[in-house]
Amino acid sequence: MKNKIFYFLALLLPIFCFSATIKVGKSGDFKTIKEAIAAAKSGDTIFVEKGIYREGTIDIEKPISLIGIDRPILDGNLNGEIITFRADRITLKGFKLINSGREEIRSVAAVHIYTSTDSVIENNIFENNYFAIYVQRGNRILINRNKITTNRGNSQENSGDGIHILGSREIWIKNNFISGHKDGIYLEKNAKCYVYHNLSRNNLRYGLHFMFSNDSVYTSNVFDNNGAGVAVMYAMNVSMFNNKFINNWGDSVYGLLLKEISYSKIKGNTFQNNTTGVFADGATKIDFYTNQFEDNGWAIKINANCMENRVMRNNFINNTFDISTSGSTVMNDFRFNYWDKYEGYDLDKDKIGDVPFHPLSLYSVLVEQNPSVMLLFRSFLVDMLDRTEKIIPSLTPESFVDDQPLMKPLQTPN
């Protein structure tokens, strides 16, 4: 054992012996960051004093730490990228990065990681950039406690994403605030990403967007008033726990879009005040557990091509429609949910309704087939349809049923 410890310390010894600190600024060793990086050796730390630095693109091609003191500003002058990572073990902390250039083909960003392992982007402010942070071929990258905003794009076409991850593994995105970009966070062709405790608000398209990204988790995030909340598309094994999808409102807008996704879990989330809480198309083997659906236009729209999904122990409260579907085939399981529209009874006092609940109303079916029928909402005719349905439930698919509805709402995590 002693030999192993000695061997480990021997490996670290060159780092402790030869790493140095370098200062940049009026009283520093160098006046520019580029000069300091050129002089630095692997493992060195460069401290940058307060000031405005306009140096064009700063390429970092060795493992170093770049630390801002009193928030120095790196101004891209709307031309090209501000900092690029082209080596492993790079740390960037404490800066304000503004005014990157704009070019969609090259995905110009304030910080662009071209390839890197074990690097950190932490406690920075990003303002008025095209892409703020762009990671491609990253491995074990931490993006933590950054504030990312822009007012630069007034449409999706002329705005980049706040955090864009491409072809990477083990990316940790934590405690960031992102606003004003096309997508707050965009994950494309990645694996094992962890998205925790971010606030993504007022972005033009999605708060968070998955494409072909498997084996990932997002938890305890807030997606507020984006073009749409979250889209998880062409992915599998994605865990979605304890998030809030709120105020995503407008034509064809949803809190969560599931498109061609399988073997995933949606648990403990709040869907409130969205046009549609969850819209599922081609979703298979998804578990919906202990979620709160409240004050939405539609709580869940689940197309007929979705199968083997389980919707259990969720609360459905004050939604205009609890469930809607595009066909008459039902291949999903609804049980033990609380429905505030349920008017059954519980004679045996086991807290489960004695008669089944049919969450799919005839009116929602008619609206799905012809949206203009929405004009009749809360009319006498719709009341008559609802009453008729209770007498003749076969008007809607008989198998679309919760056989064991709960009499009282459940306690949910959020």
Q: Which residue type, as a one-letter code, is found at position 195? A: V
| Predicted local confidence at residue 8, as pLDDT | 46
Cβ atoms of residues 180 and 151 within 8 Å: yes
| Predicted local confidence at residue 67, as pLDDT | 98
| Predicted local confidence at residue 17, as pLDDT | 52
| Predicted local confidence at residue 249, as pLDDT | 86
Backbone phi and psi for residue 64, each to the nearest 5 degrees, phi listed first: -140, 170
Backbone phi and psi for residue 365, each to the nearest 5 degrees, phi listed first: -65, -45
CA atoms of 371 and 13, how far apart (whole Å): 70
HEC sequence for the chain: CHHHHHHHHHHHHHHHHHCCEEEECCCCCECCHHHHHHHCCCCCEEEECCCEECCCCEEECCCCEEEECCCCEEECCCCCCCEEECCCCCEEECCEEECCCCCCCCCCEEEEECCEECCEEECCEEECCCEEEEEECEEEEEEECCEEECCCCCCHHHCCCCEEEECCEEEEEECCEEECCCCCEEEECCECCEEECCEEECCCCEEEEEECCECEEEECCEEECCCEEEEEEEEECEEEECCEEECCCCCCCEEEEEEEEEEEEEECCEEECCCEEEEEECCEEEEEECCEEECCCEEEEECCCCECCEEECCEEECCCEEEECCCCCCCCEEECCEECCCCCCCCCCCCECCCCECCCCHHHHHHHHCHHHHHHCCCHHHHHHHHHHHHCHHHCCCCCCECCCECCCCCCCC
| Predicted local confidence at residue 1, as pLDDT | 47
Neighbours of 354 (CB within 10 A): 13
Segments of the chain with pLDDT less than 70? 1-18, 328-329, 362-398, 414
Neighbours of 178 (CB within 10 A): 29
| Predicted local confidence at residue 400, as pLDDT | 81
- Predicted TM-score (pTM) of the model is 0.89
| Predicted local confidence at residue 175, as pLDDT | 98
